[in-house]
Chains A and B, each alone.
Chain A
Amino acid sequence: MASITRDDVEHVAHLARLHLTDDEIDRMQTQLSNILEAIETLRDVDTSHVGPTASVIQLENVMREDVATRPMPRDVTLANAPLRDDPFLRVPTVLEEGR
C-alpha cells in the first residue's frame, strides 16, 4: 500500500530540484499516493522469467564518424540565455567564499 508522507514529497522534490509551495506539497501527497496505488497493481504480475525492455528497437551503440564539425557559433549559443555576461553565461553564486 503506497502511502506517501509529507517528508517523502519534500525529499523527492529536493532530488528533482523542484520548489513546491505548502499547498502543492499537500496536493502532491494525496495525488501521488492515489497514482502509486494504481501503479502498484503491477506487483501481481509474474515477471520472474521476463527480461526488461528499455527500448523496442534493437539498436546498440550507434556511432558517428569521429570527425570534428563546426560547433554552433557562440552568439547563437548565448542568444537564449536569461543572464549573460559575454562571452559567458552568468549563473548565481555556486560556492561562497570560505565554504
Chain B
Amino acid sequence: MTPVLADRTITEVAALLRAGETSSRELTDACLARIERDGERLNTFLSTDADAARRAANEADAARTRGDDRPLLGIPYALKDIFVTRALDRDGRPLAGGFPTTAGSRILEGYRSPYPSAAQERLEAAGAILIGKTNCDEFAMGSSNENSAYGPVRNPWDETTVPGGSSGGSSAAVAGGQAFFALGTDTGGSIRQPASLTGTVGIKPTYGRVSRYGMIAFASSLDQAGPFTRSVRDAALVLGAISGHDPRDSTSVDRPVPDLAAALTGEVKGLRLGVPREYFVAGMEPGVEASVRAALDVMRDLGAEIVDVSLPSTDRGLATYYIIAPAEASANLARYDGVRYGVSAGADELWENYARTRGAGFGPEVKRRIMLGTYALSAGYYDAYYVKAQQVRTLIKDEFDAVLSTVDAILAPTSPNVAFKIGAKADDPLAMYLNDACTLPVNIAGLPGISVPCGLSGGLPVGLQVIGRAFDEATVLRVADVYERAAGFADLRPPTANA
C-alpha cells in the first residue's frame, strides 16, 4: 500500500513536487493536519506556527514556479527544541514567526534567541520549512523523553510507551507524519535510540561533521546533530545539507563533504562488515536479538562478508560516559544563573539567587548529572574519575580504530530493547542508562552511526545500527540503504499513519 502524503519520504514527495503533482502548501497542510489531530495527545511539539509555515510554503511554491529546484525546497521539517532559532529583531523585540527555545527546561521558559543555530540557517538556505520545535528530555539528558519539563512524549506505535530520548519529540513527529524530517542531537544515543524505538532512520554523524553553533550544549566533546527521516536516502539528503565546516564552532572540522546521495550505490558485495560479539549484551530482549541476527543474514545473502569481531572494552562504555558527559554538563550548565536570560528565583542575595534559581529551574535528572559531574571534577576525585575515564576513552577509541582497519563498517543492535512503558524505568536511573549501552561507545569514539528499522518485536520497531570510520558517513549510509531496500521494512508505519 502506498502511504498517504504525510507518511511518504522526502525523496517521494520531492519527485511529486518536481512533477507538479503536489505543492509545498499541500505537504505543509498534511503535516499540520497530523499535528492538529495527534500533536497534543502525543506531546510531540513544544511550539508550532501554522500561519508562518503556510506563508513559507506559499513562498516556496512561488519560487518553484520561477525555476527554483533545490532538493529540500518546500519540505516541512522540525527542530529539536535544543537548537536555538532566531526570535528577536534587531531592537530586541519578539520577531513575528520566531520560536522560543527551551531545551525542555523550565529554566529557559520563554527564552527567545537573538540569533539562529547553524542548523536553522543551513536548512533555511536550503528552502526547507520549519514547522515547529519538538519536545525533548531536559538539556538532552534522558533516554525516554520523560525528563522534559513539559511532559513526556508518546510513541505513535503504542501510546502507552516512550518514543526514546532524548530526541523523542523529533522521532515521534517523523514516525507520526507530523514532519518530513526532524533534527535531533546525539550525545550518547539520543538520535539512534529514539529512531530505533519509533521505526525511523536516525544518523549521528562523525564528531566535527556538523556545526554545533547554536545547539545548546550538553557534553561538548560528544554532542552531534543529525536527522530523523523515513528512509536512508532522505537521511543522506538532509545530512548533506547540514554538514560542513563552520568557523563559529572551533570543533567543526574543515573537510570536504562528499555527495552522500551519490554514495548510495546499492551494492555491498565485497564489503567486510564486523559484528562485535560484546554488543549482544546480557539482558537484551530475545525479539531484538532475533531481528538483528536476521538482518545479518540479509546482508550476507546480499554478498557482504560478515565477520565476528571483538571490542573488549564495550562494557566500560557506560561508566566512562557517565563520568565524561556529566563532567562536561556540569561546566556547560554553569551558565544558567538567572542573570542574563531564563527564569530567576528573585532571592535578595547573589549567591543565594544562583542556587535558588538553579534549584527551582532544573529537573531531577539534570540535577543528578550536575551533581555527578561536579563530584567527578572536585578536588581529590579528578584523577580517580575524570582522568581515568579519559584514559578508558582512549582504549575504547583505539579498539574501534583497530577493528575498523580490518572491516568497512560494524553492524550491531541500536538498543537492547523495544519501546518500554511510560514510567517503567523512571525511578531507576541505572536501568535507564543501560538503554544506551550499544550507542554511547560510538560517541566516546566520535564515529558515525545510523539506526535503520530491522523489523518488529511484539509489534514494536527494532533498529539495526551501522557504525563506520570517522568521516565515512558514505559507507554507513550505503550499507544501511542496501539493507533497507532488501529487508522490506521501509514502508513500516505506526497505527497513526495512513489516515
Contact = CB atoms under 8 A, between A and B. Distances in A.
11 contacts: A16-B330, A16-B358, A16-B370, A28-B368, A36-B375, A42-B388, A45-B313, A47-B391, A47-B394, A73-B91, A92-B347
Given A28-B367, A39-B322, A80 B355 contact: no
B334 to A, nearest CB: 8
A28 B350 CA distance: 25
B362 interface: yes
Interface in B184-210: 207-208
B67 to A, nearest CB: 36
A92 B395 CA distance: 47
A67 interface: no
Contact of A9 (B337, B371, B429): B371
B391 A38 contact: no
B482 interface: no
Nearest to B89: A76
Interface residues of A, number: 56
Interface string B454-485: 00000000000000001000000000000000
Contacts of B318: 38
Interface string B314-331: 001011101100000010
Given A28-B371, A34-B430, A75-B92, A57 B359 contact: no
B343 interface: yes
Interface in B334-356: 334, 337-344, 347-356
Given A20-B367, A42-B389, A82 B338 contact: yes
B333 to A, nearest CB: 9
B91 A52 contact: no
B350 A53 contact: no
Contact of A56 (B88, B221, B334, B374): B221
B319 A42 contact: yes
Contacts of A40: 319
A36 B373 CA distance: 11
Contact of B359 (A18, A45, A55, A73): A18
Nearest to B398: A50
A48 to B, nearest CB: 9
A21 B359 CA distance: 8
Given A50-B391, A52-B391, A31 B368 contact: yes
Nearest to A47: B391
Contacts of A72: 114-115
Contact of B91 (A41, A75, A94): A75
A61 B86 CA distance: 29
Contacts of A75: 91-92
Contacts of B354: 17
A64 B247 CA distance: 8
Interface string B424-439: 0000011000000000
Q: Interface extent on B, as a size class?
A: 35 or more
Contacts of A59: 208, 250-251, 253
Interface in B204-250: 207-208, 221, 247, 250
A15 B378 CA distance: 8
A28 to B, nearest CB: 6
A32 B372 contact: yes
Please name the 10 residue pairs, one residue from A and one from B, whose CB atoms are nearest each other, closest first.
A19-B359, A56-B446, A52-B390, A80-B341, A79-B92, A75-B92, A82-B344, A47-B391, A19-B355, A62-B250
B371 A32 contact: yes
A35 interface: yes
B112 interface: yes
Contacts of B111: 80
Contact of A42 (B250, B316, B356, B446): B316
B66 interface: no
B298 interface: no
Contacts of B330: 16
Contacts of A45: 313, 316, 388, 391-392, 395
A39 B315 CA distance: 11
B342 A82 contact: yes
Given A39-B385, A45-B313, A81-B339, A57 B250 contact: no
Given A17-B355, A76-B88, A81-B341, A41 B316 contact: yes
A88 to B, nearest CB: 11
A45 B320 CA distance: 11
A26 B345 CA distance: 23
Interface in B370-426: 370-372, 374-375, 378, 384-385, 387-395, 397
